[in-house]
Amino acid sequence: MEVKEHDPFLSSPPLSSSRWWSKETVAIVTGANKGIGFSLVKRLADSGLTVILTARDVERGYKAIEQLRNEHGDGDDLHLHFYRLDVSDPASIKAFVSQFEKDFGVLDILVNNAAVSFNEIHENSVEHAEIVIKTNFYGPKLLIEALLPMFRQSTSACSRILNITSRLGSINKMRNSKMKEMVLSENLSEEQIEWMVNLFIENVKKGTWKSQGWPEIWTDYAVSKLALNAYSRVLATRYKDCGLRVNCFCPGFTQTSMTRGKGTHTATDAAEVGARLALLPPHQLPTGKFYIGFSPGIVSKL
Ligand X SMILES: NC(=O)c1ccc[n+]([C@@H]2O[C@H](COP(=O)([O-])OP(=O)(O)OC[C@H]3O[C@@H](n4cnc5c(N)ncnc54)[C@H](OP(=O)(O)O)[C@@H]3O)[C@@H](O)[C@H]2O)c1
Residue 31, interface with ligand X (CB under 6 A)? yes
Among 25, 113, 159, 232, binds ligand X (CB under 6 A): 113
Q: Which is nearer to ligand X, 159 or 163 (CB)?
A: 163
Residue 257, interface with ligand X (CB under 6 A)? yes
Site for ligand X (CB under 6 A): how many residues? 32
Tell me how many degrees the CA angle 150-111-131 measures, rounded to the nearest 5: 105
Cα–Cα distance between 96 and 119 in angstroms, integer?
Answer: 29
Residue 115, interface with ligand X (CB under 6 A)? yes
- Nearest approach in angstroms of CB 283 to ligand X is 28
Among 7, 27, 35, 93, binds ligand X (CB under 6 A): 35
Q: Which is nearer to ligand X, 121 or 242 (CB)?
A: 121
Stretch that binds ligand X, among 28-36, 45-53, 95-103, 142-150 (CB under 6 A): 28-36
Cα–Cα distance between 43 and 271 in angstroms, integer?
Answer: 7
SS3 assignment for the chain: CCEEEECHHHHCCCCCCCCCCCCCCEEEECCCCCHHHHHHHHHHHHCCCEEEEEECCHHHHHHHHHHHHHHHCCHHHCEEEEEECCCCCHHHHHHHHHHHHHHCCCECEEEECCCCCCCCCCCCCCCCHHHHHHHHHHHHHHHHHHHHHHECCCCCCCEEEEEECCHHHCHHHCCCHHHHHHHHCCCCCHHHHHHHHHHHHHHHHHCCHHHCCCCCCCHHHHHHHHHHHHHHHHHHHHCCCCCEEEEEEECCCEECHHHCCCCCEEHHHHHHHHHHHHCCCHHHCCCCEEEECCCCCEEEEC
Residue 116, interface with ligand X (CB under 6 A)? yes
Residue 56, interface with ligand X (CB under 6 A)? yes
The reply to whether 221 belongs to the active site is yes
- Nearest approach in angstroms of CB 203 to ligand X is 22
Residue 36, interface with ligand X (CB under 6 A)? yes
Among 57, 77, 103, 120, binds ligand X (CB under 6 A): 57
Residue 88, interface with ligand X (CB under 6 A)? yes
Residue 65, interface with ligand X (CB under 6 A)? no
Catalytic option among 83, 138, 221, 231: 221
Residue 274, interface with ligand X (CB under 6 A)? no
Among 21, 26, 86, 288, binds ligand X (CB under 6 A): 86
User: Which residues, other chains included, contact 26 with Cβ-Cβ below 8 Å and sequence gap of 6+?
Assistant: 49, 50, 51, 52, 104, 106, 107, 108, 109, 152
Per-residue x/- track, 210-249, ligand X (CB under 6 A): ----------------------------------------
- Nearest approach in angstroms of CB 224 to ligand X is 9
Q: For ligand X, which residue has the nearest CB?
A: 35
Stretch that binds ligand X, among 18-26, 27-35, 233-241, 282-290 (CB under 6 A): 27-35
Residues that bind ligand X (CB under 6 A): 30-31, 33-37, 55-57, 60, 85-88, 113-116, 135, 164, 166, 250-251, 253-254, 256-259, 263, 267
Active site residues: 221
